[in-house]
Each structure stands twice: as C-alpha cells, then as structure tokens.
Amino acid sequence: MTSFGPHSLQLLKRLLGVEASAPAHAGVETVLDGLTAVAVTEAAGSDTAALGATWPAAAGGRAWSRRQRQQRRNRLGAMLTA
C-alpha cells in the first residue's frame, strides 16, 4: 500500500516554495526526565488539539445536553448544568 505522506510533503513544499535541495532538520538529541517528557508531550498535543477540534467539542456538548434532559441531577444530587 502506498503512503500518502511523501506525496503530501512534496505538495506542501511546492505550495510553500520550500527549496527541494534544503536538507530536512535532523532533530535534536536530548534526554529528558519522565515528568518533563510528559509535560512536553502534553503541551504539543494540546497545541495540536486546540487548532481544529470543533467536532469532538460539539459532539460532547450534544451528549451533555441529552444527559441534562434525561437526568436532572448527578449521583451526588447536584443539578446538572453547563
């Protein structure tokens, strides 16, 4: 099965005007402790999720509204509100 990745990168480079001869960034070799690694990973994920996550939020809102209509109180007796 062919991968769409290389083709999409070539198209992106062509559209943005990136020189084909420019070498790719080799990355940075570093060592992180566990807490820092988790923090960096979560920060990168949250930045990505914030860019275009409208459909999960909308689906969550609809589910919450249905739950509010079906059941007015949660298990602790508090009113379900948005």
Please state the pTM of the whole predicted model.
Answer: 0.28
| Mean pLDDT per 10-residue segment, the chain (82 residues) | 73 74 72 85 69 68 80 75 64
Q: What is the pLDDT of residue 49?
A: 58
Q: CB-based contacts of 18: which residues, under 8 Å, 6+ apart? A: 12
Q: Residue 79 phi/psi, 5° resolution?
A: -65, 140
Whether the Cβ atoms of residue 80 and residue 72 lie closer than 8 Å to each other = yes
Domain boundaries along the sequence of the chain: 56-82
Q: What is the pLDDT of residue 54?
A: 67
